[in-house]
């Protein structure tokens, strides 16, 4: 794993931000998520293929964590966090967390033991294909007893059956990385092509359409079993910890942008002959948003550093990932609610951007487990209960 120098971090952040400013305006995000897209993107799908292609091929966001032999940069979770922060600011409708982080991470750990995995990873890195991970049947925290899919073997061919709900990016994925119970009752990792006749994908009605979720039904879907060294539970939780930390970094970016929007409005909107930001109640809200933002930023960085092993407490990645998810989810939720209140009546309208960030915050809050679930996990892992 290569460490990301400060100047490289800034250059990466600037490159991603420039791409988002150029190609992910608020109007573009609205078109991709809720309406018609004019130049290439699939309007209403929640996936901007044009932006994703540019991010993958001009910036290389999907290859950051891949080894150099696969055309990647070999960076760790902190680099992924830099990208996520900028994507969160723009509400970019791309499958970064679902495809480039979680699904790719699982495939990467098992690539050395499975034929054709390198070819699949190269396709993901170049943006030609996307992937989604189906860890449990309910889309929540990883638990063995929540795995509802089952795999059976006939000769050399594996087939997977079952239903998984709330699959992040499932409606736009080409490859499905599936956790299913094998014939010995133990969970195992499989790859299923979403174009297989045994795969039925139904997009779910979601609050935030920049985060497409799907119910995926597998009926004797042909699968390739991925094999690797080490306990399966540790493999899954290790990669889920990375996804949690990167999602938290994305939430920090979103929270940062919400604070900018709120303070800009408070400086320019006048009431009773003076800017509304001069009123003490508005000042308090903005101050609280800033405190929450910095708390979230610290929690996110602590989790990323632990995952990269650049911190003396690198062995604490499990509970730090849960802490980051809980802290950042609550900080963003509080920020978007305050932003709506600072905007007053216009904050409740479709024309204003406040509701876009509120939708993202409430959706991210429940992805991969709610804050309450992660506070409980944190307490257990830190031996506080």
pLDDT digits (tens, 9 = 90+) for 242-258: 999 999 999 999 999 99
Task: Determine the Cα angle at 228 with ends 224 and 231, to 5°.
Answer: 115
Measured between alpha carbons, how far is 161 from 32 in angstroms, rounded to an integer? 32
Parallel, antiparallel, or unpaired for β 187-193 and 175-181? antiparallel
Identify the residue whose tokens are 């499975």. 114
- Phi and psi at 52, nearest 5°, equal -65, -40
Lowest mean pLDDT among 2-16, 78-92, 155-169: 2-16
Q: CA 123 from chain center: how many Å? A: 19
Predicted confidence at residue 162, as pLDDT, reads 95
Measured between alpha carbons, how far is 140 from 158 in angstroms, rounded to an integer? 26
Per-residue pLDDT tens for 185-239? 889 999 999 999 999 999 999 999 999 999 999 999 999 998 766 788 889 999 9
Please state the rounded mean pLDDT for residues 314-324: 88
Please state the rounded mean pLDDT for residues 12-32: 95
Predicted confidence at residue 1, as pLDDT, reads 62
Please state the rounded mean pLDDT for residues 44-50: 90
Measured between alpha carbons, how far is 354 from 339 in angstroms, rounded to an integer? 7
Identify the residue whose tokens are 């930001």. 277
Lowest mean pLDDT among 92-101, 138-147, 203-212: 138-147
Confidence check: pLDDT of 385 > 80 = no
Confidence check: pLDDT of 312 > 70 = no
Confidence check: pLDDT of 262 > 60 = yes
Per-residue pLDDT tens for 148-184? 999 999 888 999 999 999 999 999 999 999 999 998 8
What is the enclosing helix (H) or strand (E) of 362? Answer: helix 354-364
Predicted confidence at residue 372, as pLDDT, reads 95
Please state the rounded mean pLDDT for residues 6-24: 94
Please state the rounded mean pLDDT for residues 338-360: 92
Query: In the structure, what pLDDT confidence band is assigned to residue 141 with cuts at 50, 70 and 90?
Result: confident
What is the enclosing helix (H) or strand (E) of 237? Answer: helix 232-268
Predicted confidence at residue 382, as pLDDT, reads 76
In the chain, the domains with their CATH numbers are 6-94 (1.10.540.10), 131-225 (2.40.110.10), 232-382 (1.20.140.10)
Query: In the structure, what pLDDT confidence band is assigned to residue 275 with cuts at 50, 70 and 90?
Result: confident
Q: Which positions ≥6 away from 370 have C-beta within 8 Å? A: 329
Residue 259 neighbours by CB distance under 10 Å: 18
Predicted confidence at residue 332, as pLDDT, reads 98
Predicted confidence at residue 287, as pLDDT, reads 96
Measured between alpha carbons, how far is 316 from 305 in angstroms, rounded to an integer? 10
Measured between alpha carbons, how far is 130 from 169 in angstroms, rounded to an integer? 9
Higher-confidence residue of 345 and 59: namely 59
Measured between alpha carbons, how far is 137 from 147 in angstroms, rounded to an integer? 6
Look up the pTM and report it.
0.94
Predicted confidence at residue 322, as pLDDT, reads 95
Query: Over the chain, what is the mean pLDDT?
Result: 90
Query: In the structure, what pLDDT confidence band is assigned to residue 4 with cuts at 50, 70 and 90?
Result: confident
Q: Which positions ≥6 away from 157 have C-beta within 8 Å? A: 222
Please state the rounded mean pLDDT for residues 65-88: 91
Confidence check: pLDDT of 37 > 60 = no
């Amino acid at each position: 794993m290569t460490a990301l120098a400060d100047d490289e971090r800034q250059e990466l952040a600037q490159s991603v931000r420039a791409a988002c400013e150029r190609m992910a305006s608020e109007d573009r995000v609205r078109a991709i998520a809720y309406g018609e897209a004019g130049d290439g993107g699939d309007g209403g799908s929640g996936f901007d293929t044009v932006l994703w292609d540019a991010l993958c091929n001009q910036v290389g966001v999907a290859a950051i964590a891949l080894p150099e032999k696969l055309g990647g940069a070999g960076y760790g979770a902190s680099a992924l966090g830099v990208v996520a922060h900028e994507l969160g600011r723009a509400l970019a409708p791309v499958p970064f967390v679902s495809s480039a982080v979680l699904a790719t991470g699982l495939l990467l750990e098992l690539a050395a033991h499975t034929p054709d995995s390198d070819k699949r990873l190269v396709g993901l890195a170049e943006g030609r294909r996307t992937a989604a991970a189906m860890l449990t049947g309910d889309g929540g925290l990883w638990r063995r007893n929540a795995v509802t899919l089952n795999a059976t073997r006939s000769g050399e061919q594996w087939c997977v059956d079952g239903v998984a709900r709330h699959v992040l990016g499932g409606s736009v994925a080409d490859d499905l990385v599936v956790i299913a119970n094998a014939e010995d009752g133990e969970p195992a990792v499989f790859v299923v092509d979403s174009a297989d006749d045994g795969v039925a994908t139904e997009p779910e009605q979601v609050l935030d359409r920049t985060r497409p979720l799907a119910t995926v039904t597998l009926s004797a879907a042909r699968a390739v079993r991925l094999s690797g060294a080490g306990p399966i539970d540790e493999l899954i939780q290790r990669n889920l910890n990375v996804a949690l930390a990167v999602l938290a970094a994305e939430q920090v970016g979103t929270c940062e942008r919400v604070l900018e929007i709120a303070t800009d409005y408070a400086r320019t909107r006048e009431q009773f002959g003076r800017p509304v930001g001069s009123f003490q109640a508005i000042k308090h809200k903005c101050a609280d948003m800033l405190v929450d933002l910095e708390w979230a930023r610290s929690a996110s960085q602590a989790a990323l550093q632990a995952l990269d092993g650049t911190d003396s407490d690198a062995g604490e990645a499990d509970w730090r990932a849960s802490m980051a998810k809980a802290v950042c989810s609550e900080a963003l939720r509080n920020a978007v609610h305050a932003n709506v209140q600072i905007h007053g009546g216009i904050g409740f309208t479709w024309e204003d951007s406040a509701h876009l960030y509120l939708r993202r915050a409430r959706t991210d809050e429940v992805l991969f487990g709610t804050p309450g679930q992660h506070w409980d996990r944190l307490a257990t892992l830190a031996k506080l209960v």
